[in-house]
Structure 1
Amino acid sequence: MTIPDLFDAAGVHGWVHARCLGTGAETGFGADEPVVLASVIKVPLVLEFARQVAEGQLEPTDRVRVREVDRLGGTGTAGCADDVELSLRDVARFALTVSDNTAADLLFDRVGVDNVRSLLAELGLRATTVAGPPRDIVRAMASDVGAADLAEFARRFPTLTDEQLLATRALDPIRTTASTPMEMTRLLALIWSGEAAPPQACRQVRALMAQQVSWARLGAAFAPDATVAGKTGTLPCVRNEIGVVDYPDGGRYAVAVFTRGGGTRPRPDIERAIGAAARHAVEELRRARGPGTVHPPPVSGDTP
Structure 2
Amino acid sequence: MVEDRIRGIFARAGADGLLHAVPVGTASVAAVAAGTEPGDGEIAIGADEPVVIASIFKVLLVLEFARQVAAGQLDPRERVRVTRGDRLGGWGTAGCADDIELSLRDLAFFAMTVSDNSAADLLLARIGLDTVRLLAGELGLDRTRIVGGPRDVLEAMLAEVGARDEAEFALRYPELAEERKRRLSALDPLRTNASTPREITRLLRLVWQDEAGPPQACSQVRELMARQAFRHRLVSGFPDGVAVAAKTGTLPGLHMEAGVIRYPDGGLYAVAVFARSRELTASRTEVDAAIGATARVAVDFLRSAGL
Alignment of 1:250 with 2:266, yes or no, is yes
CA–CA distance in structure 2, aligned partners of residues 70 and 161 of structure 1? 31
CA–CA distance in structure 1, aligned partners of residues 164 and 101 of structure 2? 30
Alignment of 1:277 with 2:294, yes or no, is yes
CA–CA distance in structure 2, aligned partners of residues 97 and 15 of structure 1? 24
CA–CA distance in structure 2, aligned partners of residues 71 and 162 of structure 1? 29
* Residue matched to 1:207: 223
Following superposition, the deviation at residue 88 of structure 1 comes to 0.4
Alignment of 1:18 with 2:21, yes or no, is yes
Following superposition, the deviation at residue 18 of structure 1 comes to 0.5
Paired residue type of 1:6: I
What TM-score, normalized to structure 1?
0.92
* Residue matched to 1:296: none
Paired residue type of 1:235: L
Paired residue type of 1:201: A
Following superposition, the deviation at residue 148 of structure 1 comes to 4.2
Alignment of 1:146 with 2:157, yes or no, is no
Deviates more, 1:220-229 or 1:255-264: 255-264
Given candidates 73, 92, 109, the residue that maps to 2:125 is 109
> Could you list the per-position Cα deviations for residues 120-153 of structure 1 after superposition, in whole angstroms to 9, with x for gaps in the alignment?
0000000100010000001111112233454532
Given candidates 267, 279, 295, the residue that maps to 2:284 is 267
> Could you list the per-position Cα deviations for residues 9-47 of structure 1 after superposition, in whole angstroms to 9, with x for gaps in the alignment?
111111000010132422111111000001000000000
Paired residue type of 2:146: V
Alignment of 1:287 with 2:304, yes or no, is yes
Following superposition, the deviation at residue 194 of structure 1 comes to 0.3
Paired residue type of 2:254: V
* Residue matched to 1:167: 183
Paired residue type of 1:108: L
* DSSP-derived class of the 1:220 partner: helix
* DSSP-derived class of the 1:184 partner: helix
> Could you list the per-position Cα deviations for residues 39-59 of structure 1 after superposition, in whole angstroms to 9, with x for gaps in the alignment?
000000000000000001111
Query: Pairwise CA RMSD of aligned residues?
Result: 1.3
> Could you list the per-position Cα deviations for residues 211-250 of structure 1 after superposition, in whole angstroms to 9, with x for gaps in the alignment?
0000010111111121000000001111100000001111
Following superposition, the deviation at residue 263 of structure 1 comes to 2.6
- 1:94-105, aligned counterparts within 5 Å? 94-105=110-121
* DSSP-derived class of the 1:173 partner: coil
Give the 3 Å change call, closer, same or farther, for CA 281–84 of structure 1 in structure 2.
Answer: same
Following superposition, the deviation at residue 73 of structure 1 comes to 0.5
Deviates more, 1:235-244 or 1:16-25: 16-25
What TM-score, normalized to structure 2?
0.91
Given candidates 1, 7, 10, the residue that maps to 1:7 is 10
Paired residue type of 1:199: P
Paired residue type of 2:141: L
* Residue matched to 1:55: 71
Following superposition, the deviation at residue 157 of structure 1 comes to 3.0
> Could you list the per-position Cα deviations for residues 238-296 of structure 1 after superposition, in whole angstroms to 9, with x for gaps in the alignment?
11000000011111000000011233242111111011111111111111126xxxxxx
Following superposition, the deviation at residue 202 of structure 1 comes to 0.3
* DSSP-derived class of the 2:73 partner: coil
CA–CA distance in structure 2, aligned partners of residues 150 and 98 of structure 1? 19
CA–CA distance in structure 2, aligned partners of residues 166 and 26 of structure 1? 31
Deviates more, 1:137-146 or 1:124-133: 137-146
CA–CA distance in structure 1, aligned partners of residues 86 and 167 of structure 2? 13
Given candidates 13, 36, 42, the residue that maps to 2:52 is 36
CA–CA distance in structure 1, aligned partners of residues 177 and 76 of structure 2? 42
Structure 2 portions without partners, runs of 5+: 28-40
Structure 1 portions without partners, runs of 5+: 291-304
* DSSP-derived class of the 1:18 partner: strand
Paired residue type of 2:304: R
CA–CA distance in structure 2, aligned partners of residues 80 and 162 of structure 1? 33
CA–CA distance in structure 2, aligned partners of residues 149 and 223 of structure 1? 41
* Residue matched to 2:32: none
